[in-house]
Amino acid sequence: MLEAYPDARPIHELYTPMSRRTHFPAASHAFLVRAALNLARVVTRLHGGGFVIGDLNHSSVLVLPNATVRIVDADSFPLPPDFVCRVGTPEYMPAELQDADLGSVRRLARHDVFALSVLIYQLLSGGRHPFAGYGGRPSANLADNIRRAKRYRLTEWQRKELSATLTDRQRSQAIKLFQNVFSRNPAHDESAGDWVAAFTAA
């Protein structure tokens, strides 16, 4: 798919500091926020058109040198009633999908919002996964941590990273979105548009 966008790189090469130095050497904090905003806008537009992405992950998002975002691998888009998304990337799936038979589960926009929030977290936290563990107790089993809603927490270092990247209001809204999306509280029903609103807050 990179052939169609020769100047684009997978999003993990932007959010991972080592590869960012190679592929996006001029990327600033503002560039990372712009890429996050553009990703949220793309997902919002797809959801507004009635589409669900299904398997949104670190390889299905491409970023161009101007922070424009492209979503590829559209063959994972579920198109009811005939096409069901049977694939998923565990570290980008919410708890309710971790043990599910993906071929029999209806994918919803909120599932995409979980994956979107993980990608945004990685963009703003130096590539760290929100469920990777903290306090010197890292875990290699991200899917299990997601399944049990364990180990998500914004550390003081991450809060400082957000402070360097976002305005006070943007940071406050982003922290609230992370907490709500990752909390498994059914009362919360965040959307991709909420991320757009957070990043464009004055």
Asked whether residue 127 is assigned to any structural domain, the reply reads yes
Domain tally for the chain? 1
Helix count and strand count (H, E) for the chain: 9, 3
Residue 39: CATH number of its domain: 1.10.510.10
> In the chain, helix, strand, coil percent, each to 5?
50, 5, 45
Residue 31 domain boundaries:
9-191
Please tell me the pTM assigned to this model: 0.91
List active site positions: 55
- Specify whether the CB–CB gap between 85 and 76 falls below 8 A: yes
Asked whether residue 1 is assigned to any structural domain, the reply reads no
Asked whether residue 200 is assigned to any structural domain, the reply reads no
Asked whether residue 107 is assigned to any structural domain, the reply reads yes
Q: Per-residue pLDDT for the chain (202 aa), expressed as one digit of tens each?
A: 556 677 899 999 999 999 999 999 999 999 999 999 999 999 999 999 999 999 999 999 999 999 999 999 877 788 766 788 889 999 999 988 998 999 888 899 999 999 999 999 999 988 988 888 654 455 568 888 888 765 566 777 677 777 777 888 999 999 999 988 988 766 568 999 999 999 999 7
Token readout for 168 is: 């006070």
